Amino acid sequence: MAELRYNPLLRDWTMVSAKRQNRPNMPKDFCPFCPGSGKVPDHYDVHLYHNDFPVLSENPPVPDNVGGKLYQTREAYGRCEVVLYSPDHHATIPDLPKENMQKLIQLWCDTFSELEKDPKHQYVMIFENRGEEVGVTMPHPHGQVYAYPFIPLKVKTELSSCQDYYEETGHNLFDVMIEEEKAFGERVILEGKTFIAYIPFFTDYPFGVHLVCKTNKTAITEFTNDEKEELGNMLQSLVGGMDCLYNRLFPYMMVMHQRPSNLEDPKDYYRFHIEFYPPLRDKDKIKYNASSETGGWAAANPTKVEETSTLLRDAIQVYLKKKG
């Protein structure tokens, strides 16, 4: 059974897929994403793998007859792809050679471009889950790309807020946030010609970095080769720095926020950016979302980001020295 169920309280859709309960934990002596497994090419640099347990699919089953007038159901139409970063079972983003990192970014671009051609796809989201702390069952370095038949609520809210601000002030909200972060300075982590990374004033995660495009581009497909190279370098530095914070693989959820598909480009008021949601608040301490945060969406940060920003900046320098 796979379907979408409408939540009238939030005006949003819940994806339901019972067969995902059958997802396996990877055996210690076998990895389907490693060359030689028979599941992937014997030779690859990066590879697009069709998800074995998709919550959205091109040929979804008819929804169960469990709804009503208020409780609507829809077919779970869409796509769920897996993006393999490397044939090396242990090479995560900061470990990739620069050429491999650029191939990964190009695969993200190609996949985004292909998926948004389908008029039923309203939003294409590129993301990565890293580490057991966020539920990863396949440790081979990989990310995912989902094509949704709706715009996810968080993105929809973000777009609406940015549009309202633009209509009220005539300014792009991201330009104003960047201006404030640069003026204050202490939360800025890295800055290049096209991108800037900072831990926002308002984030609810101790190391919740935002990597933001400084020009009016709203999708990864719009970047030049030089901009893609800068993006890759900054991603590697950020994640490499995170790993150096506590000398361990740093768990996180990473999501690219881009424009919706098949709608007018919101470039006047929106901006391509990447958000990190790392659950660690110390080497072996997890920041859990408890009742207030989960039930009320009342965000709470147990740390002062002006202090965690300093820690991450210093850790990035350690990573860069190690990398040479």
Q: Which active-site residues does the annotation give? A: 142
Name 5's bridge partners. 14, 73
b/e string for 226-258 if b means 16 or more Cβ within 10 A? ebbbbbbbbbbbbbbbbbbbeeebbbbbbbbbb
Contact 13, 73 (CB under 8 A): no
Tell me the sheet residues that pair with 285.
Answer: 282
What is the Cα–Cα distance from 156 to 243, expressed in whole angstroms? 32
Long-range contacts of 131-136, Cβ-Cβ distance < 8 Å, separation of 24 or more: 131/249, 131/250, 131/251, 131/252, 132/251, 133/251, 133/279, 133/280, 133/286, 134/251, 134/252, 134/253, 134/279, 136/251
Report how far apart the first and last C-alpha atoms of the chain are (Å, whole number): 51
- Dihedrals φ, ψ of 213, to 5°? -75, 135
Chain CA centroid to CA 218, Å: 15
- Integer angstrom CA distances of residue 253 from 35, 106, 232: 26, 21, 17
Q: In what order do the strands lie in the sheet with 73-75?
A: 12-17, 2-7, 73-75
Cβ atoms of 131 and 139 within 8 Å: the answer is no
CA distance 225 to 203: 31
How far is the C-alpha of 263 from the C-alpha of 121, rounded, in Å? Answer: 10
The helix (H) or strand (E) run that includes residue 79 is strand 79-84
Alpha-carbon gap, residue 135 to 312, rounded angstroms: 24
